[in-house]
Chain A
């Protein structure tokens, strides 16, 4: 420890050179810790489970490319054919007709009221066919799910309200007071009604429609454009047979067979008598696309951290090497006076250790300062102690590591050099 005094005095005489290392380490730590915070936030988002059986889910879409399908009769027949093809494909465990797909970028939301109140409650809303719980892998907390009869009945009714059918006309009277059964998520049930039981409760909306709760499912999660409705949903029984959107379904396959089943479904739909635009996509792919921006940010930040460590270690090595060259005569003299190679190496490593430590202490302050700005101005991620500690340990090691080679070179300077001129 007797080197401590000389090292310290040498630093004071060479403020700029040593200050540079300290500043570089400090800034590196500050940037690195904040990048790491962004990466960890992105990772947390990417790893959030949907609560559904994502690995075995497929989103199927078959859209008609033939204007003849605009006729309601032809359209219904096409839907029937597509439905039968998908359901009969080998490896299909269950099928839910719906536009809803976990992690997809489109969502549908609305506002409804608990009957008799004035508060508008936001929720996602989707039309579905039968088979909700088995397709999503969720459980009913209360009530029941839609049967095929429910779906057929409500679909027919909504067609009568929305689409004029030749000969029969539309049922304007029906549109005025439309009653529909709905299944909601537990989170939304709690928001709307507090504690249960929920089955038998009513909602209403501006249009004069009424919604009757028949079932409650235990979980639901789908990131929506309005973030506060991620866990709220209201499902209505309706096959939603539209020419523009085409046939859409969520298929749950036997475990591990998603890829094979996807190919089978695509082939069979291709072979149907209708002209269709077919897309069968695994939910994991949809998820990957959904989190694309987060993954991009995490990857780029990771690259920055690697480059930062590289550049900083280069800088530390360069400056230590410069120190060694500058003190060639001094080292030679010390060696001549009896200092061992170990002493010389220790001297430079100690110097480096001291600089890195000072840099890291300043760096923590800088990192926290930068983080406060990031959090307040850009709603960034808060730093945490493990991240900061990890960054510090890494930089410590890198700092020492990059000083070793120049220090070794210094230790090999022969005492004879001291007697020579430069």
Chain B
């Protein structure tokens, strides 16, 4: 019966190929738009590091003055507070960090120098965020303490400077001194720069190089991105402004793998704030925030609301396409009614007719879905190209297996919505009417 029906489906598709194509294309368009628009939202909304997002926490302390600029707790820390947290042993991994721009001179004296986005961070950064390496690895805590001049390069920068070769061990001149390359990243470009949702556009790609945080002082590196202060520095120069003053400019991440660790870390922060109040710092009421990654992303609105609206529009569009499919299938099935009458008279059960027709709808929907997914993929390429100059990257929106699954489910649901009624109608065909006519 199934084989026979499949043969029938095939024959009916071949008989009116344009009609069949229109049916399939209609649902393909629906799935294409729904998948493409959902993928756009998904690029921002997905968990960027599912294996440990619940253990990564962003830390804030309210170090602001009583004046009004920050209505709530500021989004970054002062150097004093960040270093106090770095001294805590409770987090299994931790890193204060900031974004900067540094001059890179591959060969001194040549005019190939360039200014590169850099992240100053601690060695824990790479293991904390599971950063993938192509060559070598990050540096360890002893390198941080000894202030070893080491650097990790992005794949793109390594391609540009060292032609993509294994550059571990080579020297790179950054600003006024030489750094030794210890690692080169594999391709790593999350749609959201989730480890820094504060400096500039969070859709920017990761920095081209990673430099040990402890060089900030000796090289007098200032951040690019957000920084603010309620109190003018106590004196001239870098240190009073950045290190000993009340300027907030650092992001702070800690990895707390268990609930106990979270509790312990929170009480550590509370105790720290009380101590600081005793020495006359931190004038506002204590407001310490230890925020898990996904909550922090939600708080920073990493999903633009327009993308949610667009996804809803796309799903409505898919339902219009499903309605359309329903009309076309009904016409197709009822045109077949005389044959169904004969089948029924020969003993086919209503249920069989129903299931077979529903199956046909799902085949049509899945075929359309497959075409739709390919179209959506193409559309994402187009959109990525369109936004290239805006975000300075061509891989902002990405397809993944979740979106494949989405396309399959969307097609099946659309097929079911469109097919239920026509299949029901055709299985109710009364054999006698058509036998009479024949």
Let me know if B324 and A315 touch, CB within 8 A: yes
Does the CB pair A111–B67 fall under 8 Å?
A: yes
How many residue pairs, one in A and one in B, have C-beta atoms under 8 Å apart? 151
- Listed by A's residue number, 14 A-B pairs whose Cβ atoms lie within 8 Å are A24-B323, A24-B324, A27-B323, A111-B67, A120-B67, A162-B236, A172-B236, A175-B232, A297-B310, A300-B310, A304-B314, A322-B327, A326-B334, A421-B437
Per-position binary interface string of chain A over residues 26-40, scored 1 when its CB falls under 8 Å from any chain B CB and 0 otherwise: 011011001100100
In the complex, A326 Cα to B334 Cα: how many Å? Answer: 9
Q: Which of A27, A120, A299 contacts B319 (CB 8 A)?
A: A27
Checking B22, B176, B387 against A292 with a beta-carbon cut-off of 8 angstroms, the contacting residue is B387
Other than A105-B201, A293-B306, give 7 A-B pairs with Cβ distance below 8 A: A20-B326, A65-B105, A65-B113, A293-B390, A307-B29, A307-B33, A307-B317
Interface residue A153 (Cβ < 8 Å from any Cβ of B): no
The interface residues of chain A lying within 8 Å CB-to-CB of B235 are: 170, 172
Interface size classification for chain B: 35 or more
B331 touches which of A23, A30, A164, A325 (Cβ 8 Å): A325
Binary A-proximity of B292-335 (CB < 8 A = 1, otherwise 0): 00000000000011101110011011011101101110110011
Q: Report A279-301 residues with CB < 8 Å from chain B CB.
A: 289, 292-293, 296-297, 299-301
Give the distance in Å from the alpha carbon of A161 to the alpha carbon of B234 in the complex: 11
Q: Which of A247-255, A258-266, A335-343, A372-380 contacts B (4 or more CB under 8 A)?
A: A372-380
CA distance A106 to B65 in the complex (A): 25
Which of A16, A38, A67, A421 is the one whose CB lies under 8 Å from B309? Answer: A38
B residues within 8 A CB of A170?
Answer: 235-237
Decide if A325 touches B33 in the complex (CB within 8 Å).
no
Q: Shortest CB–CB separation between residue B220 and chain A, in angstroms?
A: 8
| Cross-chain contact of B386 among A296, A314, A315, A378 (Cβ < 8 A) | A296
Q: Are B330 and A17 in contact (CB under 8 A)?
A: yes
Q: Which residues of B contact A38 (CB under 8 A)?
A: 309
CB neighbors of A among B68-98 (8 A):
68-69
Question: Could you tell me the distance between the alpha carbons of A244 and B175 in the complex, rounded to whole angstroms?
Answer: 11
- A111-B69, A311-B26 known; A378 and B309 CB under 8 Å? yes
Cα A321 to Cα B327 with chains together (Å): 11
Interface string of A298-327 (1 = CB under 8 A from B): 011100100110111011001101100110
Partner of A318, one of B224, B232, B314, B327: B327
> CB-CB < 8 A to A308: which residues of B?
317, 320
Q: How far is the CA of A172 from the CA of B236 in the complex (A)?
A: 7
Residue ID in chain A nearest B304 by CB atoms: A293
Task: Return chain B residues, CB-CB under 8 Å to A321.
Answer: 331
**Contact of B308 (CB < 8 Å), options: A17, A24, A304, A378:** A378
Nearest residue, chain A, Cβ from B421: A16
Closest A residue to B321 by CB, please name it: A311
Interface pair A34/B313, CB less than 8 Å apart: yes
CB-CB under 8 A from B201, the residues of chain A are: 105
Give the chain B neighbours of A23 by CB distance below 8 A: 323
Is A21 in the interface zone, CB < 8 Å from B?
Answer: yes
Is A49 interfacial (CB-CB < 8 Å)? Answer: no
Number of interface residues of A (CB under 8 A): 63
* B120, chain A: closest CB distance, angstroms: 14
B165 at interface (Cβ–Cβ under 8 A)?
no
Residue of B whose beta carbon sits closest to that of A35: B313
Contact partners of B101 in chain A: CB under 8 A: 244
Chain B residue at minimum C-beta to C-beta distance from A119? B68
* Shortest distance between the CB of A394 and any CB in chain B (Å): 15
Roughly how many angstroms separate A402 CA and B31 CA in the complex, as a whole number? 23
Residues of A within 8 A of B33 (CB): 304, 307
Q: Chain B residues near A275: list those with CB within 8 A.
A: 111, 113
B387 touches A67 (CB 8 A): no
Nearest A residue to B228 by beta-carbon distance? A110
Question: Which residue of chain B has its CB nearest to the CB of A380?
Answer: B309
Is there contact, CB below 8 Å, between A277 and B236?
Answer: no
Q: List chain A residues, Cβ under 8 A from B105.
A: 65
Q: Does A66 contact B (CB under 8 A)?
A: yes
Complex CA–CA separation, A229 to B383 (angstroms):
32
Chain A positions within 8 Å of B236 at CB level: 161-164, 170, 172, 175
Beyond A111-B69, A175-B232, is A289–B114 a contact (Cβ under 8 Å)?
A: no
Nearest CB in chain A: distance from B237 CB, A? 6
- Kindly report which residue of chain A lies nearest to residue B173, judged by CB atoms: A67
* 0/1 interface trace, chain A 64-99, chain B, CB 8 Å (1 if under): 011100100000000000000000000000000000
The CA-CA distance from A315 to B306 in the complex, in Å, is 29
Q: Is B210 interfacial (CB-CB < 8 Å)?
A: no
CA distance A352 to B167 in the complex (A): 71
B407–chain A nearest beta-carbon distance, Å:
17
* B103–A206 touching, CB < 8 Å: no
Going nearest first, the 7 A-B pairs with the smallest beta carbon separation are A322-B331, A170-B236, A292-B390, A315-B324, A207-B232, A65-B113, A67-B176
> Are the C-beta atoms of B390 and A65 separated by less than 8 Å?
no
Q: Is the CB of B321 within 8 A of A299?
A: no
For the complex formed, measure the closest distance between the CB of A358 and the CB atoms of chain B, giving whole angstroms. 15
Instruction: Give bound CA distance, A136 to B330, whole Å.
Output: 65
Q: Which A residues are CB-close (under 8 A) to B15?
A: none
Is B231 part of the contact surface with A, judged by Cβ < 8 Å?
Answer: yes
B115: CB under 8 A from chain A? yes
